[in-house]
Amino acid sequence: MKTFVRVTLCAILLVFMLPHQIGSQQAANRNFWFLNNTGREIHNVYVSPHESKVWGKDVLGRATLPTGVGTLIIFPPGWQTSCYMDFKLVFDNGTEQLYEEGRDVCTLHAVEFDASSSTGF
């Protein structure tokens, strides 16, 4: 009887989780590794669709990103549908650097940022 209950509970959980996981996989196509090789500590990272004139929220939150360190950028389900993203970095001294190349994050696994440009991998 205990085995039947366990199998039934697992089947129910699987049925409820499957649609959520499929949606997450579609949104995860835009997730990528962000690597800071700017030579400076980054305090804010703003991401925006290339066609937008408004910057999104700071994706680092309270965290900072030292030079030579990376982080995973995860797009929540339903957030923007564009694959082409621009970036605004704000450094520890308050200066800003724009990267407006329109990187196709749907086809990239990583984007490396240096002092004046970005490279997608």
Closest CA to 113 of 93, 87, 95: 87
Q: Which of 27-31, 61-65, 101-105 has the lowest mean pLDDT?
A: 27-31
Q: Positive or negative CA dihedral for 8, 11, 13, 15?
A: negative
Rounded-to-10 torsion of CA 90, 93, 97, 103: -40
* Other beta carbons within 10 Å of 45: 22
Q: What is the CATH number of domain 29-120?
A: 2.60.40.2890
When pLDDT is cut at 50, 70 and 90, the band that residue 80 belongs to is low
pTM reported for the whole predicted model: 0.73
pLDDT at residue 27 tops 60: no
The domain segmentation of the chain, as residue ranges, is 29-120
Q: Stretch 112-117: mean pLDDT, rounded?
A: 92
Put residue 39 in one of left, alpha, beta given phi > 0 → left and psi -120 to 50 → alpha. left
Phi and psi dihedrals of 47, rounded to 5?
-120, 135
Residue 120 DSSP code: E
